Amino acid sequence: MSLQTVSDVRSRLGQALFLRVAGPDGATHRARIHDTPGPRWFAEDRPIRRVHGDASMFIGGIRALMLQSMHPLAMAAVSAHSGFRSDPWGRIARTSRFLAVTTFGTADDARLAVDQVRAIHARVRGTAPDGREYVASDPHLLRWVHVAEIDSFLRAHQTYGKDPLDQEGRDGYVADTAVIAAALGVEQPPTTEQELAEQLQAYRPELAGTPEARDAIGFVLWNPPLPWIARPAYGVLAAAAVAMMPVWSRLPLRLPYLPLSEATVVRALGTVGTGTIRWAMSPPGDTPRSSRAR
């Protein structure tokens, strides 16, 4: 295979991934996020930029969706208001854009993105199947969504990231994300890896594998909105995400638990998968910038 052919394959794969994650107007948003001058919330050497700019986010994102679904009230809000079934790629693009803007964009754009999300949360309310009422702006629910997401991103980065963080870096990442969480209305977000683990543990009595959660996970794992030709590659990322789920979550969510395979075959395939994404989205001679995916 010639160098030109390899370059063409790399370009096509990178463009296809970018389109899926960022949406049809992703290039415009990417240019604004990265090229608009002005102060940022986070300096270029902050851990949040390393984590959120790495291909491991693909696996971390899948794991975050599965873990977040275990809170019945959070799952009820997602099921009733998010449109994850009717417009899954649109939801992914919006989430990806929010992460990119708050991590890499100007301070003004980051604040605007946060204000827009808070306005949406204020309108999201309803009654869960178990009869309890929920409001998306509830600081307690917001914190659950935050800690489940950040734990997932951090674990994925430590397992599949190009440059895993040391202890100082991991604490720095949690502290960086606390800035965004507090802006969104999360009260007392964790600022160290230890605090993150403690807060996750504190939610355990509230978590359950509800029918709604299992239905959502079934959609994410077994019926992704992808053409059949792309499903094997997606399956590798999904398997890696499942392998990082807590052991105590497997039975309630009806997820498999195969420790030997997860530690060997799945780990190897996940490493190849993220490496391929990293290769496709970082053209030769270019320094990766948020994996060029946002």
Per-10-residue mean pLDDT, the chain, length 294: 55 55 68 92 97 94 95 92 67 86 97 97 94 95 98 98 97 98 97 98 97 91 79 90 97 95 95 87 53 41
Report the pLDDT value the prediction gives residue 48, as an integer from 0 to 100. Answer: 98
Report the pLDDT value the prediction gives residue 32, as an integer from 0 to 100. Answer: 87
User: What distance in Å separates the CA atoms of residue 145 and residue 88, rounded to the nearest whole number?
Assistant: 18
Report the pLDDT value the prediction gives residue 142, as an integer from 0 to 100. Answer: 97
Rg (CA), the chain: 18
What would the two tokens of residue 188 be? Answer: 């007392």
In the chain the beta strands, taken as DSSP E runs, fall at 125-127, 133-135
Report the pLDDT value the prediction gives residue 84, as an integer from 0 to 100. Answer: 65
Report the pLDDT value the prediction gives residue 292, as an integer from 0 to 100. Answer: 39
Domain boundaries, the chain: 11-26+43-292
For 120-138, give the DSSP string. HHHH-EEE-TTS-EEETT-
Report the pLDDT value the prediction gives residue 81, as an integer from 0 to 100. Answer: 81
Report the pLDDT value the prediction gives residue 289, as an integer from 0 to 100. Answer: 44
Question: Which pTM was predicted?
Answer: 0.88
